[in-house]
Amino acid sequence: MKKKLYIKTYGCQMNVYDTERMVDVMAPEGYEETETPDDADLVVLNTCHIREKAAEKVYSDIGRIRKMKDAKKEKGDEMVLAVGGCVAQAEGAEIMKRAPIVDMVFGPQTYHNLPDMVNKSLELKSEGQKSRILDTDLAVDEKFDQLSKKEVKQKPTAFLTIQEGCDKFCTFCVVPYTRGSEFSRSIDDIMTDAKKLADAGVVEVTLLGQNVNAFHGTADDGSEWGLPQLIRELAKIDGFERIRYTTSHPHDMTDELLEVHGDLEECMPYLHLPVQAGSDRILKAMNRTHDSASYKKIIADLRKQRPDIALSGDFIVGFPGETEEDFEATMDLVREVKYAQAYSFKYSPRPGTPAAEMEDQVDEDVKSARLARLQALLKEQQTEFNNSVIGKTFPVLIEAKGKTEDTVFGRSPYMQAVQVKVGADKIEELLGKIVEVKIEDANAFNIQGVLV
Ligand code: 5AD
Ligand code: SF4
């Protein structure tokens, strides 16, 4: 009988990708993914450390799962409970101590060991011992090597991790500590995975990395490729019609990369380019290595290459020392750049990062008020952007069934969520296809259209 695997994914696309790979590595062991943790044989919490109170959410989930685990045990069955991802990496030993119910804790670089860890855990249990496995090694290349050998199952869109970790050390961020230093996969490994994805029917590939545009992979002949060359080569692969990449840092937004946006129709007109703040004083304190003028210059140059490009960003309000004037500089930058979509956060001190130690922390209510103002502006811009495409026709990649019986869901070139009216009988044949859609209506969150 198949065993059941439940994975809860918190946070970013990197984790969504890691979850898919965990499903892949457990499949040969007889594990099948299930929608709920109730009766699962293996439960993995794939955690994210970026958000505020990330660890607290994990502990409260562990509390809920504990009851299910106990119920299963009463029936004479075992549930293995594992905590993976970035909280595990950052606070592994602490989790083991605080939550004895957890059988194993593993970091983002070790999930290829998952089958061995699970088997070891079951073995310990069958011997009547407590299962306590902690694996938070940061050796990245080994993980990739092992995964390349696994077969992949596919939807029309896929993530492909090309780079991990970060050496930028923004003073608010835990990534350099939890994901380790910057590491690029080899060109050969990436191309092998890319061809597998294309063979499996993937039409749109999103290249992932915490610092994706810092990518510098080595090819077999010893030459080094940056992201621009990699995108150009990937675009030649039959089947890949759309290429995206995320997340980029302004520091590594080279002219060559901007030219790729102008030259290649496969490179989608959408870019997530976090700026974090508009005040140069705050950007300096954040150790961002760019100022607001250099960021705006990149955007202007990018728009010369691709005038219709849609922009997305990340913002932090209430960084230590942020004055009203500093915050207004962020609002001004947003007004000037105009975003199609964005993520914004209240600054939250992460233990072990320099900003957490800074003295002039901003009051919580000030942060909340600023966040509300920024989010209102961003929502206005998002609505405006969505409205601006009403009446336009563009290609939409159909990814799934839509909200109603006679619609399908897809993404516009600009990453907008599109609901397309097609008629119930057409749904199956459209899945995975790129079709021309005329947009008829829009709101802040999605746009609606019909086939042309
Ligand atoms: N507080 C608030 N937001 C943060 N981010 C990262 N660290 C913090 C923090 N300590 C945000 C940044 C980053 C995004 C992924 O999360 O905006 O770009
Ligand atoms: Fe964190 Fe800065 Fe690196 Fe992004 S660039 S992962 S925000 S340290």
- Rounded distance, CA 410 to CA 433, Å? 10
- Rounded distance, CA 179 to CA 87, Å? 10
Check whether 52 has a pLDDT greater than 70. Answer: no
Q: Are 6 and 37 within 8 A, CB to CB?
A: yes
Does the fold of domain 299-388 match that of domain 151-268?
yes
The secondary structure element, H or E, covering residue 148 is helix 140-148
> What secondary structure letter does DSSP report for 222?
S
- Rounded distance, CA 452 to CA 441, Å? 15
Check whether 307 has a pLDDT greater than 90. Answer: yes
Buried residues in 385-422 as b, exposed as e (16+ CB within 10 A): bbeebeeeebebbbbebbeeeebbbbbbbbbbebbbbb
Q: Is the CB of 249 under 6 A from ligand 2?
A: yes
- Rounded distance, CA 160 to CA 193, Å? 8
Q: What percent of the chain clears pLDDT 70, i.e. is strictly above it?
A: 95
pLDDT tens-digit series, residues 99-128: 888 999 998 777 778 888 888 888 888 887
Ligand 1 centre to CA of 52 (Å) is 9
Question: Going by CATH, does the domain composed of 299-388 fall within 3.30.750.200?
Answer: yes
Q: Is the CB of 340 under 6 A from ligand 2?
A: no
Ligand 2 centre to CA of 173 (Å) is 6
Check whether 143 has a pLDDT greater than 80. Answer: no
Residue 221 is predicted with a pLDDT of: 92
Single pTM value for the model? 0.81
- Rounded distance, CA 244 to CA 160, Å? 10
CA atoms within 13 A on the CB side of 372: 6
What average pLDDT does range 213-225 have in this prediction?
95
Check whether 72 has a pLDDT greater than 50. Answer: yes
Q: Where are the domains of the chain?
A: 3-140, 151-268, 299-388, 393-451
Pocket test for ligand 2, best of 169, 171, 175 (most atoms within 8 A of CB): 175
Among the listed residues 27, 32, 24, 61, the one whose alpha carbon sits nearest the alpha carbon of residue 45: 61
In this structure, which topology does domain 3-140 adopt according to CATH? Answer: Rossmann fold (3.40.50)
What average pLDDT does range 72-94 have in this prediction?
86
For residue 207, count CB atoms less than 10 angstroms from its CB and return exposed for 0-12, middle for 13-18, buried for 19 or more.
buried
Higher-scoring residue by pLDDT: 97, 290: 290
Choose the CATH number for 151-268 among 3.30.1370.10, 3.30.750.210, 3.40.50.300, 3.40.50.10090.
3.30.750.210
Q: Omega into 247 within 30° of 0, i.e. cis?
A: yes
Check whether 141 has a pLDDT greater than 50. Answer: yes
In this structure, which topology does domain 393-451 adopt according to CATH? Answer: OB fold (Dihydrolipoamide Acetyltransferase, E2P) (2.40.50)
Among the listed residues 409, 411, 431, 416, the one whose alpha carbon sits nearest the alpha carbon of residue 382: 416
Residue 152 is predicted with a pLDDT of: 43
